[in-house]
Amino acid sequence: MIYGFTGKILYVDLTAGRLHTETIDETAYRLYPGGRALAAYLLLKHMPAGVDPLGPDNVLILANGLLTGAPFSTATRFTAAARSPLTGAYGESEAGGFWGPELKMAGWEAIVVTGQAATPVYLSIQDDRAELRDARHLWGREPEEAQAIIRDELGDKLTRILQIGLGGENLVRFAALTNELRHFNGRTGMGAVMGSKRLKAVAVRGSNRYLGIARDPQSIADLGKRLAKRVKQHPQSWDLQDKGTPGLTAGLNTAGILPTRNFHTGEFEGVDNLRWEAYEQEILTARRSCYACAVRCKREVTVNDRYQVSSEYGGPEYEAVAGFGSNCMVDDLQAVAKANELCNRYTLDAISTSSAIAFAMECFEHELIGPDETGGLELRFGNAEAMVRCVEMIARREHIGNLLAEGTRRAAEVIGDDAPYFAMQIKGQELPMHDPRGKVGLGLGYAVSETGADHLTAFHDPMVANPESLSFKGAIPLGVREALPPRDLSRKKVELYALLENWSSMERAVGLCYFGPTPRSFIAVDEVVDAVRAATGWDVTVEELLRIGERATNLARIFNVREGLSRADDTLPQRLFEPLESGALAGVAYPKDDFARALTELYEVKGWDPQTTMPTREKLAALGIEWAADLAG
C-alpha cells in the first residue's frame, strides 16, 4: 500500500469541457512530492515554450504539498504555478488557509488546468466527483458574495472555495487567488491566469482525513500535540501569535531597513502610527488561523471611521503595512487597512499593488505623469486618499490604473524618461518590503529567484548572524556552522544561502508554512524528517529533503532558461546599489562589485553555468532529473 498520498491528479480541459484523472506513481512522487516540486515538473511536462501567459496554452497547476492537511501546525500550504503574466518567467505562489487541506481530504494531489472556457465556469470537486458548472452569474461579483452563492448551490456551507475577484477578471498582471476570503496566492499573477481561462472558482469538499492515508497516524497525531504546546513556549512562534507579521514594522524601522519613499530610505518619521501598538489599539478585532495551526498569525481588523473596512477580508500583513504605509509615506493606519482590504476584495497582490502606487507617486512628483493620466488625483507621497483611490483604479483598469495594472516594468517602459529607474522590480516582479542593503544575502535571493523578487526564497541574514540565537541553533542540523554578519557577502555567505534556499524550497514542496520549520520558527529539523517518515514510510534523511528542494529550484531555473531568461535577469534595481538617504544605515549601499562576484560563486555552488545559468547535465543527473537537460535547447 502507498502511504501519505493518493497519486491522483485531476486534468481539466476548459476548451473542451472535459475532465480526466491520471495517477503519478510513488517513484516519481518521491522525486516531486507535491507543491512547487510537482508543479514545476508538470509545467515542464505539459506546456511548450513561448506560450502567451494570458492565452489558452498556458497551464495552471494547483498542487498540494506532501504534508498538506496533516493535523499539525503549519501543514497547510499549496502551490499555484503557471507562466507568469507579470514576468513572462516561471510563476509560483503559495497559500495556506483551508483549501489545500480540503483538496487533500477529497483525495487529490493536484489539478492541471488547460485551455480556455468560452464563458465563465467554476470547478466543483466533492471527493471523487468533479464537474464544471456555469459561472456567468458569478462573474463580476465580489468574493464574499460569490462564495455564498457557490456554497448555496452546492448545498454545503463547509465547501472551501478558491477564487478570483475583479483583479483576476480584468487580467491585472499581479492579480491573486484567494481562499476563504483571507488567504492568498499573492505573487506572480496567478489570478490573471485563472481569469484568462474564465475559471472563476474551484470549490472543494472532502471527507477523508489525512490520518487515513498516513503510514503512522499516531506519530503524526503526537507531533501535532507537541507542536501545539510549543507554540506558546517558543519566542518566534509566540511573537507571531501575539503580533503577527505587523509586529516587524518598528524593528525594521529602527534597523534602518523599512522601505520608505519608494526605497529611497529605510526610516519613516510616521512609523509610530503604523507600529504594532497602534495596530492593536486602533484596528485589530481578532487573531485567526489556518487549518489545524496553533500559531494563529492572521490578523482580522475592522474600521468604522474615516474609512469602512470589513473584517471579512482579514487584515494587513507587514508587507501591506510597509507597502501602503512607509513606502507610500502614508502614516494613516486606517487608510492602509482600507487599501489592503481593497486588494483582498479585488484579489490583487498587496506587494505589487503598493509598489506600483509608490512608483506612480515618484513619477508624479517628477512630472513624468500628471492629473491628465491620474484622473485628477494628486498622486503624491503621503496622500492617503489618492493611494486608496489608486487601488480601485488598478482593479478597474481606470486612468493610470490601466497602465499600473501591467506592472511597473511595463508601465515604466511606456512612461519613459527616468521611470525605469523608479520601478523597483526584478524580472518584472516588484520588491517585497525588506531592503537588501541591510540583508545582503536576501538581496542575492531577490536576484536569483526564478519568480522575480521574493522575500521567501530563502533566509533573511539576521536569522543566522548570532550563534546564540534560537534560529542559528535550529539551523545547525542542516549543516550551518558559522554565524555571519547580515552585510557579509563572502563565499561562506554564498554557500550558506544555497544551503538554506534548498531547505526553504523543500518547505514549499512538502506543504509547510514558512512560520513552521527552523530557522524561522519552532519545528525542529528532525521533526520535519520524522513527519515525512510517519506520513509515507519512506526512510528519508535531511540530505534527501534538501535534494527535494534543490530539485524543484533546478526545474524552475530550466523553465526560465527555456523561456529566454539569462544572467542579465538575475540582478537588482540600480537604486539598491546607491546609499540609503537616512536612518540607521544612512550612506550604506548594496556592494555592487561584491554582488557580481557572489553571483558567479552562487552559480558555481549550485552547479549552474555562470554564463547561461543553465544547470549542468552533471548536476541534473545527480538530482535524478537528467531528462530535463535538453529542454532549454
Which pLDDT tens digit goes with each residue over 191-213?
999 999 999 999 999 999 999 99
Mean pLDDT along residues 260-279: 98
For residues 103-111, average pLDDT: 98
Q: Please say if the pLDDT value at position 249 is more than 80.
A: yes
Among 546, 172, 554, smallest CA distance to 393 is for 172
DSSP-assigned beta bridge partners for residue 81: 61, 92
**597, 170, 624, 233: which is closest to 405 by C-alpha?**
170
**Distant-in-sequence, close-in-space partners of 72: CB < 8 Å, separation ≥ 6:** 220, 223, 224, 227, 228, 292, 531
Superfamily of structural domain 8-212? Aldehyde ferredoxin oxidoreductase, N-terminal domain (3.60.9.10)
Assess whether pLDDT exceeds 80 at residue 406.
Answer: yes
* Nearest CA among 427, 561, 448 for reference residue 501: 448
Could you tell me the CA-to-CA distances from 99 to 140, 437, 594 in Å, in that order? Answer: 22, 37, 43
Confidence class of residue 2 from pLDDT cuts 50, 70 and 90? Answer: confident
Q: What are phi and psi of 372, to 5 degrees?
A: -60, -35
For the chain, the structural domain boundaries read 8-212, 248-430, 440-628
The string of DSSP letters for 379-393 reads --TT-HHHHHHHHHH
How many other β-carbons are positioned within 10 Å of the β-carbon of residue 272?
A: 12
Q: What distance in Å separates the CA atoms of residue 397 and residue 499, rounded to the nearest whole number? A: 42
Please give the CATH architecture assigned to the domain spanning 440-628.
Orthogonal Bundle (1.10)
In whole angstroms, give the CA distance from residue 411 to residue 402: 9
Whole-angstrom distance, CA of residue 627 vs CA of residue 96: 32
Query: Which helix H or strand E contains 91, and what residues bound it?
Result: strand 90-95
pLDDT of residue 459: 85
The answer to whether 239 and 305 have CB atoms below 8 angstroms apart is no
If you average pLDDT over every residue of the chain, what do you get? 97
pLDDT of residue 7: 96
3-state secondary structure of 520: coil
* Residue 570 confidence (pLDDT) above 80: yes
- 2 or 389, greater pLDDT: 389
pLDDT of residue 407: 98
Q: Quick one: 477 exposed, middle or buried, by C-beta within 10 A (0-12, 13-18, 19+)?
A: middle
Q: Which tens digit of pLDDT belongs to each residue from 313-323?
A: 999 999 999 99
Assess whether pLDDT exceeds 90 at residue 10. yes
In which band, very low, low, confident or very high, does the pLDDT at 632 lie, cut at 50, 70 and 90? confident
Q: What is the rounded distance in angstroms from the CA atom of residue 113 to the CA atom of residue 6?
A: 19
Average pLDDT of the residues in 431-447: 97
Cβ(540)–Cβ(98) below 8 Å: no
Query: Band of the pLDDT at 449, cuts 50, 70, 90?
Result: very high
Task: Round to whole Å and give the CA distance between 168 and 195.
Answer: 5
With beta carbons less than 8 A apart as the criterion, state whether 449 and 434 touch.
Answer: no
Positive or negative torsion for Cα 570, 575, 578, 579: negative
Residue 49 in this model has a pLDDT that exceeds 80: yes
pLDDT bracket for residue 545 (50, 70, 90) = very high
Mean pLDDT value across residues 65-80: 97
Is 124:154 a contact under the CB 8 Å cutoff?
Answer: yes
| Residue carrying C-alpha cell 477564487 | 163
Q: Is 511 exposed, middle or buried (0-12, 13-18, 19+ CB in 10 A)?
A: buried
Spell out the CATH class of 248-430: mainly alpha
- At 437, is the pLDDT very low, low, confident or very high (cuts 50, 70, 90)? very high
305 pLDDT exceeds 80?
yes
pLDDT tens string 160-171: 999 999 999 999
Question: Does the pLDDT at position 633 exceed 80?
Answer: no
The model's pTM? 0.98
